[in-house]
Chain A
Amino acid sequence: MFILRLMCSMSLPHATAIDICLWLLRHYRRFRIQGNSMLPTLLPDQEVLINPRAYRQSPPSPGEIVVVRHPQQPELLIVKRILFLESDGRCYLQGDNAIASTDSRQFGLLPLSQIAGKVHCRFP
């Protein structure tokens, strides 16, 4: 729990001019947050840029926020934080606002193939 709090305290940066250029070049995708499970890091209606290519070369690291396809509802994209990675490469996700979050505590570990991208920054 201490580690989760520590991770929560790492605030997400705002988009830089380079980030905005990369979004205009369609390297980044824009999403609007819905729901409270990532409070206080991500507020409802806030927008973020995600990098869909972030994990092509290297695996994610604990503490990063990712957009993943819900394991039981493939059409639903959800945003959570990676708490840890298992040695087999699957990741354990949890919302920063754990009390109002459905995450790996319910649906278990997720394969990296479920990750749609890394949340890179707030937008703008």
Chain B
Amino acid sequence: MLKQIISKFQNHFPAATVSAHCDGPCGVYDPSSARIAAEAVVSMTKKLLDLEAKPGDPAYENTFARYVAIKEEQAQITKDELLILWTDYFKPQHLEQFPDLHDTFWKATKLCSACKVEVNAQHTQELMAAVEKVHKMFWATKNRDVSWYTAS
């Protein structure tokens, strides 16, 4: 009862914030971490689509659950890595260079969510294409020619 009252109070009267933060950005950014996670999403989606369904078989259920869990986890990692690049690395001057920067990241992170919700090979390929686009934008801002590659 008391907890409910306090909880309502907290919602109506937000407390001042105290920062448990990190304000010393290490400055080390690389879109390859998003690419590696996205590749895992592609791989897990493919494995799920190729998996022969054997309902009731514990080994099958276990494998299915593992594939789904890894796909979910890696899609979230891809999203986190993209958001770090978007919010921490890219600056307003980059927006002048790439006017579609916000749209690119918005769509890429939306694709991460789609890949979690679905088992859709098309969307995983679109996610890879979006990560590749981010890769090209990122290295262009550094005036470095880093070719796109995939591990798998």
Say if the beta carbon of A37 comes within 8 Å of chain B: yes
Is A30 in the interface zone, CB < 8 Å from B? yes
Instruction: From known contacts A30-B15, A47-B15, infer whether A35 and B22 are also in contact, taking CB-CB under 8 Å.
Output: yes
- The answer to whether residues A35 and B14 also contact, given A123-B6, A124-B3 and a CB cut-off of 8 A, is no
Interface residue tally on B, bucketed by range: 10 to 19
Bound form: Cα–Cα A37–B7 in Å: 24
Whether A78 pairs with B7 at a CB distance below 8 angstroms is no
Cα distance, A78 to B20, chains bound together (Å): 6
Docked CA distance A81–B33 (Å): 31
Let me know if A79 is at the binding interface, CB within 8 A. Answer: yes
The number of residues on chain A lying at the interface, defined by a beta carbon within 8 Å of a beta carbon of chain B, is 33
Q: Which residues of A have CB within 8 Å of B14?
A: 32
A77 interface residue, CB < 8 Å from B?
yes
Number of A-B residue pairs with CB-CB distance less than 8 Å in the complex they form: 75
B18 to A102, Cβ gap below 8 A? no
- Kindly supply a per-residue 1/0 record for chain B positions 1-33, scoring 1 wherever the CB is within 8 Å of any chain A CB and 0 otherwise: 011001100100011111111111000000000
**A42 interface residue, CB < 8 Å from B?**
yes
Q: Nearest Cβ distance between residue A48 and chain B, in whole angstroms?
A: 8
Please tell me if the beta carbons of B20 and A95 are within 8 angstroms of each other in the complex.
Answer: yes
**Contacts of B7 on A, CB cut-off 8 Å?**
124
Question: Which chain B residues border A29 with CB–CB below 8 Å?
Answer: 16
- Determine if B20 and A32 form an interchain contact, defined as CB atoms under 8 angstroms apart: no
Knowing A31-B16, A32-B14, A32-B15 are in contact, say whether A37-B6 is a contact too (CB < 8 A): no
Are the C-beta atoms of A37 and B21 separated by less than 8 Å? yes
Please judge, given known A-B contacts A47-B10, A124-B6, A124-B7, whether A34 and B21 are in contact too, CB under 8 Å: yes
Q: Counting CB contacts under 8 A, is A121 at the interface? A: no
Instruction: Bits for A59-88, please: 1 = Cβ < 8 Å to B, else 0.
Output: 000000001001000001111100000000
Give the residues in chain B near A30, CB-CB below 8 Å. 15-16
